[in-house]
Amino acid sequence: MKYVAIDLGSSAIRAMAADVQENGAIRVLGVESLPADDIKYGVVEQSSGASFKLHQAINLLRNSAKMPEIDVVSVSVGAKTIKNVNVTVNKNFGSAKIVTPQMLDDLLTECGKKVERPDVVIFDIFPLSYHLDGKRQDEPEGQTATQIVANYNVLYGNVNVQRKLNDCIDRTGKIVEYRTVSIEALSAVVTEENERENGCILINFGALTTSLGIYFDGVLQFMQVIPLGGQNITKDIQELGISEASAERLKRLKGCALEYLVEDPINIQVPSSTPGNAPVVVSTQFLATIIEARLDEIMQLIFDSIEKYRD
């Protein structure tokens, strides 16, 4: 079976086609990418422009993946406005009852109602734990209890994020088969199940945002999207008096995250962004100083969140 996944990032719109083999392995059939000028911080700002580029990327994918038609896609959401909140739902039955799937669905629905507002959309709800008559049960279904206390992690955001995303995809005529938050999609790719069970931290460095996901007991316990990313580093380097393209290239080819790791500094001449001016001379050691300073700012926010979950 073939699947098509869409990622609407701040730097690029990407489309990937993959084929699931009989043994469960995934074979990538093709990947296409176009610059995303119409998307900022993971939010579609110009639906018409973004949908046009998305349509282009999908058409390119049809050719590279040799697919006759693409009608259905899956999409990830990674907007900077996404937040999470822990919600507890308490249910008393009055007498001992066998916990059924319907009971668990009702608890999930009640959890969602506690967060729902006209200006809010819920992106996902993750059950964190269940306590039956005061005792934790990882598999509550089929157990007998007079009381259930369920704890959830609810990911939510501004309803306009969802509206603009839907508008963008609707303009292409495609149908969204599955939607997930970006950190969840990434965790399935770069972490193992035992790591998420034992506890791990996943950090996604994007162009305009940096996302943090904390996993334990196999579930996303906490998520944070910081509105700073690799493009902020590029802008810092650009302040030296060079173009954005030159700053990005310099960062990628000669950049280092820590100044002390630059053992043999060299000077690099870069064309000035001001016509007629002499080239700008940049030391790789000073370049690392600029990069490290911005990364310190980003990582301090990450470390502050991790500290809260040290236990």
Confidence of residue 137 (pLDDT cuts 50, 70, 90): very high
Evaluate if residue 5 carries a pLDDT over 80.
Answer: yes
Evaluate if residue 310 carries a pLDDT over 80.
Answer: no
User: β-strand 39-40 against 83-98: which pairing, if any?
Assistant: unpaired
What is residue 279's DSSP assignment? P
Strand partners, 148: 91, 132
Residue type, 40: K
Q: Give helix 230-238 / helix 284-308 axis angle, nearest 10°.
A: 150
Q: Which residue has the tokens 């999609």?
A: 185
| Segment 98-114 mean pLDDT | 95
Confidence of residue 35 (pLDDT cuts 50, 70, 90): confident
- CA-to-CA distance for 198 and 32, rounded, in angstroms? 35
- CA-to-CA distance for 107 and 151, rounded, in angstroms? 10
- CA-to-CA distance for 80 and 249, rounded, in angstroms? 26
Structure tokens at 200: 């791990």
Quote the pTM value.
Answer: 0.84
**Residues 246, 271 contacting (CB under 8 angstroms):** yes
In this prediction, residue 47 carries a pLDDT of 86
| Segment 45-72 mean pLDDT | 90
| Segment 43-50 mean pLDDT | 87
| Segment 160-189 mean pLDDT | 90
Structure tokens at 12: 């690029």
In this prediction, residue 258 carries a pLDDT of 96
In this prediction, residue 309 carries a pLDDT of 80
Nearest residue to 225 via CA among 170, 298, 128: 298
* Percent of residues, the chain, with pLDDT higher than 90: 70
Q: How many residues does the structure list for the chain?
A: 311
Query: Which secondary-structure segment (H or E) carries 256?
Result: none
Across the chain, what does the average pLDDT equal?
A: 92
Alpha carbon of 234 to those of 36, 175, 249, 266: distances in Å?
A: 17, 36, 9, 19
Tens of pLDDT, residue by residue over 252-295, are 999 999 999 999 999 999 999 999 999 999 999 999 999 999 99
**Alpha helices per DSSP H over the chain:** 47-65, 101-115, 159-172, 182-190, 193-198, 230-238, 244-254, 284-308
Alpha carbon of 51 to those of 34, 128, 170: distances in Å?
A: 12, 36, 8
Residue type, 72: V
Q: HSE, CB side, 13 Å, CA atoms: give it for residue 18.
A: 13
Report residue 309 CA to chain centroid gap.
20
Evaluate if residue 110 carries a pLDDT over 90.
Answer: yes
**Residues 245, 206 contacting (CB under 8 angstroms):** no
Alpha carbon of 12 to those of 37, 96, 118, 147, 165: distances in Å?
A: 8, 54, 31, 49, 15
In this prediction, residue 38 carries a pLDDT of 86
In this prediction, residue 39 carries a pLDDT of 85
